Amino acid sequence: MKHDYFEDMVGIRRTLHHRPEEGWTEFETTWFVVQYLRGLSLPVTVGKANINTDEVLGRDETLVRDAMARALKNGVPQSFLDETEGYTGAVAVLDTGRPGPVTAFRSDMDCVLVRESDDPEHLPNKLGFASERPGFMHACGHDAHTAVGLEVARWLVEHREELCGRFKLIFQPAEEGVRGARAMAASGLVDDVNYFLSGHIGGIAKLGEIGVMDGGFLASTKFDVDIEGLPAHAGNAPHLGHNALMAACAASMMLQGIPRHGDGTTRVSVGTLHAGEGRNVIPAHARLQMEVRGETEEVNEYMREYVYDIFAGVDKAYRVKSTVTKAGESTTLLQSPELYDIVEEVMKSVPDTTMIPRVHVPSGSEDCALFIRRVIQHGGQAAFILYGCNHTGHHRRNFDIQDEVSLPNAFRIFTGFAKRVNGRKDA
**Span 58-80, pLDDT tens digits:** 999 999 999 999 999 999 999 99
- Give the separation between CA 73 and CA 152, rounded to whole angstroms: 30
pLDDT of residue 364: 84
The answer to whether residue 268 is domain-embedded is yes
What CATH number has the domain bearing residue 311? 3.30.70.360
Helix (H) and strand (E) counts in the chain: 12, 12
Q: How far apart are CA 171 and CA 91, in angstroms?
A: 6
Evaluate whether residue 323 is within a structural domain.
yes
Measured CA to CA, the distance from residue 109 to residue 111 in angstroms comes to 7
314 and 233 fall within a common domain: yes
The 10s digit of each residue's pLDDT in 154-182 is 999 999 999 999 999 999 999 999 999 99
Residue 118 lies in a domain: yes
Domain count, the chain: 2
Question: What percentage of the chain's residues is helix, strand, coil (to nearest 5)?
Answer: 40, 20, 40
Which of 382, 346, 376 is CA-nearest to residue 104?
382
Torsion angle (degrees, nearest 10) of CA 161, 163, 164, 167: -110
Q: How far is CA 211 from CA 11, 146, 159, 200, in A?
A: 25, 19, 26, 10
- Asked if the structure places residue 162 within a domain, the reply is yes
Cα Rg, the chain, nearest whole Å: 23
Do the strands 285-294 and 219-228 form a parallel or antiparallel pair, or are they unpaired? antiparallel
Q: Which of 330, 357, 376 is the last residue of a domain?
A: 330
Residue 306 DSSP symbol: H
In a domain, 308, yes or no: yes
Query: What does the pLDDT read at residue 361?
Result: 82
Domain range for residue 143? Answer: 5-217+331-422
Q: Is 182 exposed, middle or buried (0-12, 13-18, 19+ CB in 10 A)?
A: buried
Instruction: Say if residue 320 is in the same domain as residue 348.
Output: no
Describe the crossing of helices 403-422 and 5-18 by its angle, rounded to 10 degrees.
120
23 and 143 in a single domain? The answer is: yes
Are 213 and 362 part of one and the same domain?
yes
Distance of CA 79 to the CA centre of its chain: 27
Per-residue buried b or exposed e for 377-401, using 16+ beta carbons within 10 Å of the residue's own CB? eeebbbbbbbbbbebeebebbbbbb
For residue 150, the Cα-to-chain-centroid distance in whole angstroms is: 17
The ranges of the chain with pLDDT < 70 are 1-3, 427
Whether 386 contacts 211, CB under 8 Å: yes
The answer to whether residue 427 is domain-embedded is no
Is there a domain that residue 279 lies in? yes
CA angle 34, 38, 42 (to 5 degrees): 115
- Give CA 277 to chain center in angstroms: 34
Yes or no: say if 251 and 314 are a contact pair by the CB < 8 Å rule: yes
Q: Distance (Å, rounded) from C-alpha 71 to C-alpha 360?
A: 40
Whole-number pLDDT of residue 427: 63
Say whether both 109 and 247 belong to one domain.
Answer: no
Domain containing 89 — which CATH number?
3.40.630.10
User: Is residue 36 helix, strand or coil?
Assistant: helix
Angle at alpha carbon of residue 28, lines to 396 and 184, rounded to 5°: 80
Q: In the beta sheet, which residues pair with residue 271?
A: none
List the 266-275 sheet strands across, edge first. Answer: 266-275, 285-294, 219-228, 321-330
Nearest Cα to Cα of residue 63 among 24, 19, 111:
24
H or E stretch covering 237 = none
